[in-house]
């Protein structure tokens, strides 16, 4: 626990630095796209061949992209945008996978096409990363981490994941969630808003809903019925915004709701899956997002440069690598290492 707290305080110092960086286009030209230069040539060549053979036998494309940094972009958004831009996966099956790794900010995200999310659920994606990639990356063995994860994903697609192993991981995550909420609550009371924002960034959690479920967005400091309050969803086909601050889950996937009133903005992140959060947990998470999610006040630049891009589409096209026409809706999981 002490190591976690030390890491959190170090993150605070890092997060207070603001750099104006020009966004660079991230290109996909093969199954392995090592823009950060962390893989040895033998591993890169081997995985490219494995990816090609795997696509020929299953129709599924598994893509790895490493970058030095994301220049403020949300990893989930960046991975999904790449998948849609290059059409990763089969057009009819939507069975593509993108593993995005950003080295400077130590972020990772494994994005999945909608057609493969029954096998590679969000929990399964996180479990595979925690099992293969995270331990190796913590030791600085990047080639091993990426190779083991790549082969683990191939095996999961072909044979599934052991249910007992996955259930044990789920139970472990449930217990950790309440510890995290306790840390955040303590931060609000004893340390302050900046630390709380860093905690939310590191341990970002979504509001979990099931298809067909409706939820009324509410916070006593926000008048959501005000005509000047704009509420939008970046994926209305997944999470639809209804009148008076009500949102309705339509199908599995991930979505973000943007709430804007004058110059103040909040983002609330949702995952539509097989199981919903209990009502009291939904209320707690919603309250945290309303009070402490990234905001813009009076034109300040205290948000990442990629926030507004979360609500815009990306252009198509490719450069040497042929995607199969697949699409991504925000499914998957990620975090730090």
User: Under a CB-based contact definition with an 8 Å cutoff, are residues 78 and 70 in contact?
Assistant: yes
**Cα Rg for the chain, rounded, in angstroms?**
20
- 176-292: CATH topology is Immunoglobulin-like (2.60.40)
pLDDT tens, N- to C-terminus, the chain (337 residues): 554 545 555 554 544 444 444 557 899 999 999 999 999 999 999 999 999 999 988 889 999 999 999 988 889 889 999 999 999 998 888 889 999 999 998 999 999 988 888 888 888 898 899 999 999 999 999 999 999 999 999 999 888 776 665 555 455 555 555 545 555 555 455 544 444 444 444 444 678 999 999 999 988 778 777 777 888 887 888 899 888 789 999 998 878 888 887 777 788 888 888 888 888 888 888 887 777 654 333 333 333 333 444 443 333 333 345 777 778 877 888 888 8
User: 189-206: buried (b, 16+ CB within 10 Å) or exposed (e) per residue?
Assistant: eebeeebbbbbbebbebb
Give the HSE-up count for residue 67: Cα atoms under 13 Å, Cβ half-sphere: 23
Please return the burial class of 16, using the count of CB atoms within 10 Å of its CB with bins 0-12, 13-18 and 19+.
exposed
Length of the chain (residues) = 337
User: Under a CB-based contact definition with an 8 Å cutoff, are residues 205 and 177 in contact?
Assistant: yes
Coil/strand/helix, residue 183: helix
Beta strands in the chain (DSSP E): 32-34, 62-67, 97-102, 107-113, 207-209, 214-216, 229-233, 239-242, 246-249, 253-261, 264-272, 328-336
Question: What tens digit of pLDDT does each residue of 227-281 get?
Answer: 778 888 878 888 998 887 899 999 988 788 888 877 777 888 888 888 888 888 8
> For the chain, which residues make up each domain, given as ranges?
27-163+327-336, 176-292
Q: Which two tokens stand for residue 226?
A: 């005000």
Choices 3.65.10.10, 3.30.930.10, 3.10.310.50, 3.30.70.100: CATH for 27-163+327-336: 3.10.310.50
Q: Residue 321: what pLDDT?
A: 59
Given strand 253-261, what is the order of strands in its sheet?
207-209, 264-272, 253-261, 229-233
CA distance 145 to 192: 36
Q: Residue 111: what pLDDT?
A: 93
Q: Which two tokens stand for residue 314?
A: 């990306």
Q: Which residues contact 32 (CB under 8 A, 6 or more apart)?
A: 39, 44, 47, 48, 51, 63, 64, 146
- Look-up: residue for tokens 């939008």? 232
Q: Residue 312: what pLDDT?
A: 39
Q: Residue 335: what pLDDT?
A: 87
Q: What angle do CA 204, 124, 274 make, to 5 degrees?
A: 80
What pTM did the predictor assign?
A: 0.55
């Amino acid at each position: 626990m002490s190591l976690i707290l030390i890491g959190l305080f170090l993150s605070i110092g890092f997060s207070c630095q603001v750099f104006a960086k020009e966004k660079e286009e991230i290109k996909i030209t093969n199954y392995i796209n090592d823009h950060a230069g962390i893989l040895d040539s033998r591993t890169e060549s081997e995985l490219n061949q494995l990816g090609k053979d795997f696509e020929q036998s299953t129709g599924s494309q598994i893509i790895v992209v490493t970058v030095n940094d994301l220049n403020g972009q949300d990893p989930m958004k960046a991975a999904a945008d790449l998948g849609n831009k290059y059409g990763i996966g089969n057009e009819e099956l939507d069975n593509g996978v993108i593993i995005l790794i950003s080295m400077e900010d130590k972020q990772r995200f494994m994005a999945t096409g909608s057609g493969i999310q029954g096998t590679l659920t969000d929990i399964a994606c996180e479990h595979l990363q925690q099992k293969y990639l995270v331990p190796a990356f913590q030791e600085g063995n990047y080639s091993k981490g990426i190779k083991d994860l790549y082969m683990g994903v191939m095996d999961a697609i072909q044979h599934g994941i052991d249910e007992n192993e996955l259930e044990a991981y789920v139970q472990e995550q449930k217990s950790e969630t309440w510890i995290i909420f306790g840390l955040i609550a303590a931060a609000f009371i004893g340390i302050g808003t900046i630390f709380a924002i860093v905690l939310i960034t590191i341990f970002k959690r979504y509001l979990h809903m099931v298809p067909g479920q409706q939820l009324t967005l509410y916070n006593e400091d926000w008048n959501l019925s005000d005509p000047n309050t704009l509420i939008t969803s970046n994926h209305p086909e997944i999470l639809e915004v209804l009148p008076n601050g009500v949102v309705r889950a339509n199908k599995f996937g991930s979505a973000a709701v943007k709430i804007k009133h004058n110059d103040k903005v909040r983002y609330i992140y949702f995952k539509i899956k097989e199981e919903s959060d209990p009502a009291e947990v939904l209320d707690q998470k919603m309250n945290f997002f309303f009070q402490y999610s990234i905001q813009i006040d009076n034109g300040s630049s205290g948000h990442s440069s990629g926030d507004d891009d979360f609500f815009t589409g990306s252009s198509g096209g490719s450069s040497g690598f042929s995607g199969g026409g697949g699409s991504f809706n925000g499914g998957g999981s990620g975090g730090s290492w």
